Amino acid sequence: MNTQSDKHMLRRTIRTFGFVLLSLLPVLAQANQVNLSINLATPVMEAERSHRAFIKVSLEGFKQQDRQARIPANVAIVLDKSGSMSGEKIQYAREAAIMAIRRLDERDIVSVVSYDSRVQVVVPATQVRDQRAIYNAIRDVRADGNTALFAGVSKGANELRKFLSRNKVNRVILLSDGLANVGPQSASELGELGASLAKEGISVTTIGLGLGYNEDLMTRLAGFSDGNHAFVENAEDLASVFQYEFGDVLSVVAQGVNIEINCRNGVKPVRLLGRESEIIGNRVTTRLNQLYSEQEKFVILEVEVPEQQAETEIELVSVNVHYDNLLTQNQEQLAGQSVARFSRSQLEVTAARDDKALEAAVEQVANEYSRDAIEARDSGDLEGAKKILQDSASYLGAQARSLNSPRLQEQEEEALQDAQALESDQDWNKQRKELKARQYKRATQQTY
């Protein structure tokens, strides 16, 4: 290694390996960062006319490199034990909770609250060490009394607060089969509770069992806190729902996700599909409480785009995202923009279309049709509700053919079946719960 050529080779090798190491660093860093994608469904638009356009803003949680290094959970299970839960219901509920808790370990905190007309802390917030004692306490829960749902959720939140941390997944899991009839009872009051808890970093998942609960109340509570929602018709299915829910809890990688979208160059926001949002002028803000490992969450922004001359290119929106990375325990930021080009060539417009983004937008628009149909049916306008769902089916069908989308074709058939089923007053209670649960899952991209 003493010759001049050997020394030159060594320097070249060091430079080569140095480049490799430096080039790997951003990749490794990015592996532990949330991925932001901004997709315009129509990136090339026809020139010299105004447009309505859809922009998909999506976030994907990074992969958990080591399942053993997951984020600790702080979970409060809140069980309805009112009289209607007696028999098999409470039995299945107890066993489902126990099976789910078996997935936790000493890193995690669990509490269990039961409620009828009164609220009882069955298991105070504790590290999951003595699992047998936790299981025995749950098995002692018996059903009786009325339904103090608001107080039950509030008490569950109080238990979470004993170990509340931005570096834990803080989740209330509520199971109820009946109407809240003690204390605050309206959907708006429970929605306000959910929004208040979200500000503390607490999400509430609601599980409605059977046909006696208030689906508006349960979806509002979940929605305003960014939890999950499930309709479980049969108690024997509770175990699988609890397993899915705990799978989500144990895969959270980011929390406190704030999204800000600013429209540029005369572009005006019309509506944000999929999430509650605030639109002030040209600024749109929304929030997600958490992101899961390798799962995509997105919103669709519909905008008005003013006409532009051919061969013009303009920025439509800029996007800023702030979130708490639970792996690094730092607050991190992402930014991006959406740009459109304008052309007189219809062939160019069609060739540039982002079919996946457009398919996602169509789904969210159809979801709004479904919500409108429920409102019409609730007001007694059966024919109007059927017409809305039939219009939704026509819209889905046309888009399915344009995009060659089997997914949209399935939803077209689903909308037609929903329209036909509306005629049965006897089945409306069940169908309404199914519709609300389906709407919620599509809007929030819930995976179960």
Contact 233, 210 (CB under 8 A): yes
- pLDDT of 25 reads 33
- pLDDT of 68 reads 60
Please give the Cα distance from 141 to 127 (Å, whole number).
20
- pLDDT of 147 reads 84
Per-position DSSP letters for 106-150, written without gaps between them: TT-EEEEEEESSSEEEEEEEEES--HHHHHHHHHT----S---HH
Question: What residue has token string 């708490």?
Answer: 324
- pLDDT of 15 reads 32
Please give the Cα distance from 110 to 132 (Å, whole number).
13
Query: % helix / strand / coil in the chain, to the nearest 5?
Result: 45, 30, 25
Which residue type sits at 108? D
- Tokens at residue 422, please? 């509306």
- pLDDT of 5 reads 42
- pLDDT of 181 reads 81
Q: How far is CA 420 from the centre of its chain?
A: 29
- CA angle, residues 435, 227, 330, in degrees to nearest 5: 145
- pLDDT of 31 reads 56
Question: What residue has token string 């109407």?
Answer: 179
Please give the Cα distance from 125 to 130 (Å, whole number).
12
CATH of region 38-65+253-350: 2.60.40.3670
Domain 71-250 is of which CATH architecture? 3-Layer(aba) Sandwich (3.40)
Please give the Cα distance from 420 to 389 (Å, whole number).
9
The pTM of the full predicted model, rounded to 2 decimals, is 0.89
Please give the Cα distance from 110 to 373 (Å, whole number).
40
* pLDDT tens digit at each of 448 positions of the chain: 444 444 343 333 323 333 333 333 333 345 588 999 999 999 999 999 999 999 999 999 998 876 567 899 999 999 999 999 999 999 999 999 999 999 999 999 999 999 998 999 999 999 999 999 999 999 999 998 888 899 999 999 999 999 999 999 999 999 999 887 877 878 899 999 999 999 999 999 999 999 999 999 999 999 999 999 999 999 999 999 999 999 999 999 999 999 999 999 999 999 999 899 999 999 999 999 999 999 999 999 999 999 999 999 999 999 999 999 998 889 999 999 999 999 999 999 999 999 999 999 999 999 999 999 999 999 999 999 999 999 999 999 999 999 999 999 999 999 999 999 998 888 999 999 999 999 999 999 999 9
Please give the Cα distance from 316 to 303 (Å, whole number).
9
Contact 315, 53 (CB under 8 A): no
